[in-house]
Amino acid sequence: MNPLLDPALLFFVLGLLAGVVKSNLEIPPALSRFLSLYLLMALGLKGGFALAQSGFTPAVLASLGAAAALAVIIPLLDWQWLRRVLPPMDAVGVAATYGSVSAVTFVTASHILESQGTPAGGHMAAAMALMESPALIIGILMASSLRAASAAGATTGTTGGGAMVLSWPGSTGLRGSGIAHHLREALTDGGTVLLLGALVVGLLTGDAGAAAMKPFTGDLFKGLLAFFLLDMGLLTARQLPGLRTMPRAMFLYAVGAPLLHAALGIGLAWALDLAAPDAVLLAVLAASASYIAVPAVLRHAVPEARPALYVGLSLGITFPFNLLVGIPLYQAAVARLWGAG
């Protein structure tokens, strides 16, 4: 099946169009929250069941190591450019957002690979969980360093490209500024806990658990993913008006950064000789940006950064770009490199 003709993606387009024409179609917030939790739970279970069969092979460990490396490299790399075109705290917010991952983009890519008969390894769910928090932690520490440098009268970086002075706070500073609370929030996000917990349940129960939960993780998954992407289309449409005020350079970043990040992921997967489906998902993870978990923490941990900027870019541009253009593009690139095309 052509990835662009997948029913789940078409429901995303339907929601996007409904939002653009200002239809009164809407999904209750409580139901939307339930759907997101269901998808994470089902994804974790499926990953755990698959991991119970494969075990922790060198290839699995290589994939997890690559994911952890990308989770650190991407936000630090993006910061170097973003601090030259944005105020420092906005640069921190965008770098943290784009350094993290989108669970929905990952779930959609996983679904497409399964529908094509080329599923990725179940351990990639763990790779996604590994990539959720590092960028947020880096962002929180960067913001603290910027505040400390600013308070000391140091040059902290401007839109003209000044340098950030790194002065990581000690334990007393962490307690006094509330950073410890934000770090704990980053590490104990409900979605991440549910995903990892479901993965452990799947790993412990193995084939017996897979048989017992088959209705939950099988056909039901496909329908609820389509329903959730309908809601995501509506949510994306609501972000579009705010994009008019974005700096032009950021529009290029919102498309160019995912392509660069995906190239890093594919290059690392190639160097480590990962399986082609795993390479696709690693590229998708690297290319995606958080629009729920990370922004929720950033609003409190880095209030100086503008949510309209980092949420508008990630949800209004990068998310639909990855769903409609990025996933098939990354698949084609991997197929060509791995000799499957």
CA distances from 54 to 60, 215, 318, 331 (A): 9, 22, 33, 23
Total number of domains constituting the chain: 1
Give CA–CA dist 322/12, Å, rounded.
Answer: 12
Instruction: Give tens-digit pLDDT for 281-315.
Output: 999 999 999 988 888 888 888 889 988 899 999 99
What pTM did the predictor assign? 0.83
CATH number at residue 173: 1.20.1530.20
71 closest CA partner among 22, 137, 119, 21: 137
Residue 298 pLDDT: 86
Output b/e per residue, 178-215; b: 16+ Cβ within 10 A. ebeebbebbeebebbebbbebbebbbebeeebbeebee
171, pLDDT greater than 50? no
Q: Give the lowest-confidence range in 85-89, 166-170, 213-217, 280-284.
A: 166-170
User: DSSP assignment, residue 242?
Assistant: G
pLDDT digits (tens, 9 = 90+) for 29-44: 899 889 888 988 988 8
Residue 22 lies in domain: 3-337
pLDDT of 104 higher than 70: yes
Q: What is the mean pLDDT of residues 114-125?
A: 90
